[in-house]
Amino acid sequence: MKLNRLLFLVPLIFSAWGCQKTTTTETTATQKPNIIFVYMDDLGYGDISANGATELKTPHMDELANGGVNFSNGYASSATCTPSRYAAFTGEYPWRKNAQILPGSAPMLISTEQMTLPKMLQSAGYETGIIGKWHLGLGTHDKNWNEHISPGPNEVGFDHSYIMAATQDRVPTVYIENGDVVGLDKNDPIEIDYNKNFDGEPTALTNPEMLTMKWHHGHNNSIVNGIPRIGFMKGGKSALWSDVDMADHFLGKVKEFISEKSKGDKPFFLAYTMQQPHVPRTPHPRFVGSSGMGPRGDVIMEADWCIGELLRSIRKAGIEENTLIIFSSDNGPVLNDGYYDDAVELIGKHDPKGGLRGGKYSLFDAGTHVPFITYWKGKIQPSKSNALVCQMDMINSLAALVGSDIKTSDAENVLPALLGESKVGRESLILEANTKTSFRKGDFVLIPAYKGNKLNKQVNIELGNSENIQLYNLKEDPAQTKNIAKENPELTQKLMKEFTAMRGA
């Protein structure tokens, strides 16, 4: 019997045995592997060289892709961050909850009653942590940032959390560790408002001379480190993060986590939720100019280096052969997402979409079709897979891996595909952009007729809205150039019926 088959079965028998101390080949089969979910922010399918990028080199992401299973049909649930993260961590379609991009002041979106991926892993004996971007809301509506903030990641299954509340472009621009703002001076309390400014506080509109980065659309509220943000913030000076050091800062926490937890007797789950290449793109000075594509390319270089460091630390800890890494991105790519940072001007021949249509915010494929890689040295054989898989499936699939019988109804168990043992994934998947949904089934994708702008002019991305139903065969036409709905009325009707039944459920 193959080792990975054993891994699949043995935890079911010895599910109470969470010990990972043994190292011989014979006993490896009873171990529960460490699991690291590396979640990029706005990285496009075509942004990594393993997926065809020639102008950008991503050697460490490629190392994962070429040493593991590289999925050509891997999906985020949504074309923006909050809903995708909601699905990835809860195994529930985000449109059931109307999850949309949250302001930094939003209350916690995930109910503490809900099953989550980290809770499932906790119940299977895992120590769990999240380091990086959160963007799923924190605390209550009227929370006080100067006191302990709850509920947060720690109340929905993470034993440890070291996060930014929302995005790099939203206030509060501080790190939060296990519910407390890091480095806060209680004599300089933080105040946050997403509707109105605090008297006398500079904004991008009142004090443009203070800016080191210019806003293009939105992003003209409070100024922190010369960068104008979304939302108003006052106080908390000693706690403000340094944008150019953010990648190193999170990586440092990741290294500490790995070195500490790899010595313990429990397996660990770590969500390393990186901020790149979301705006504002602020590469550390040692990466400035490294891509020749301006800050967007430079932060991808920086992120790639971080992944190299991540690999180095799991090797140093001696756990590479007992660690499953899942690498993906929360939504598709965007160039100008609200700041003048030369992303458009310096893109050259690079295509972050990798030949797909649309991008972040879009119902077209590039909105949700993202890099998706599983890597597990010695267990997963390097291969390419066209199995349809979604981040939302992690909960049911990893439950099968660790011997838990927890399941959520929207997620599917695609573990054999994730381990490269099968090319069969899901049959179908509902995808979402700005509350509008489309339906992927086999090679086809159906986009119902939707009112709304065809183009988001500010970011220059086609949104997928049309007065006509659209049907594409993604295998034959990955760029979605030919709407074949009219010439396939029966198929269109059949898919629409199935989609409506699922969507309405």
42/410 with CB nearer Ca ion: 42
**Site for Ca ion, residues 37 to 96, rule: CB under 5 A:** 41-42, 81
61/459 with CB nearer ligand NG6: 459
Residue 115 site contact among Ca ion, ligand NG6, none (CB < 5 to 8 Å, cut-off depends on kind): none
Identify whether the C-beta of residue 190 lies closer than 8 Å to the C-beta of residue 201: no
88/258 with CB nearer Ca ion: 88
Dihedral angle sign, alpha carbons of residues 66, 71, 72, 77? negative
Residue 393 site contact among Ca ion, ligand NG6, none (CB < 5 to 8 Å, cut-off depends on kind): none
Residue 146 site contact among Ca ion, ligand NG6, none (CB < 5 to 8 Å, cut-off depends on kind): none
- The residue type of 414 is V
Min dist CB 458 to ligand NG6, Å, is 7
Q: What's CA 157's distance to the chain center, in Å?
A: 17
Six-digit token string for 457: 């002019």
Inter-helix orientation angle 295-316/59-67, to 10°: 50
Min dist CB 203 to ligand NG6, Å, is 14
Burial (0-12, 13-18, 19+ Cβ within 10 Å), 200 = exposed
Identify whether the C-beta of residue 360 lies closer than 8 Å to the C-beta of residue 337: yes
42/47 with CB nearer ligand NG6: 42
Does position 169 interact with Ca ion (CB under 5 A)? The reply is no
* Separation CA 47–CA 298 (nearest Å): 12
Six-digit token string for 259: 């070195």
Six-digit token string for 419: 């381990």
149/279 with CB nearer ligand NG6: 279
Nearest to 186 by CA among 142, 139, 238, 234: 238
Min dist CB 280 to ligand NG6, Å, is 9
81/390 with CB nearer ligand NG6: 81
Min dist CB 84 to Ca ion, Å, is 7
Residue 261 site contact among ligand NG6, Ca ion, none (CB < 5 to 8 Å, cut-off depends on kind): none
* Separation CA 470–CA 332 (nearest Å): 20
The residues of the shown chain that bind ligand NG6, judged by CB under 6 A, are 41-42, 80-81, 101, 135, 167, 169, 217-219, 230, 278-279, 331, 337-338
DSSP three-state, residue 180:
strand
Burial (0-12, 13-18, 19+ Cβ within 10 Å), 74 = buried
**Site for Ca ion, residues 320 to 349, rule: CB under 5 A:** 330-331
Inter-helix orientation angle 394-402/3-13, to 10°: 80
Min dist CB 85 to ligand NG6, Å, is 9
Min dist CB 229 to ligand NG6, Å, is 10
Q: What's CA 426's distance to the chain center, in Å?
A: 20
Residue 230 site contact among Ca ion, ligand NG6, none (CB < 5 to 8 Å, cut-off depends on kind): ligand NG6
101/108 with CB nearer Ca ion: 101
Min dist CB 336 to ligand NG6, Å, is 9
Six-digit token string for 146: 């100067």
Q: Which positions lie near Ca ion, rule CB under 5 A? A: 41-42, 81, 330-331
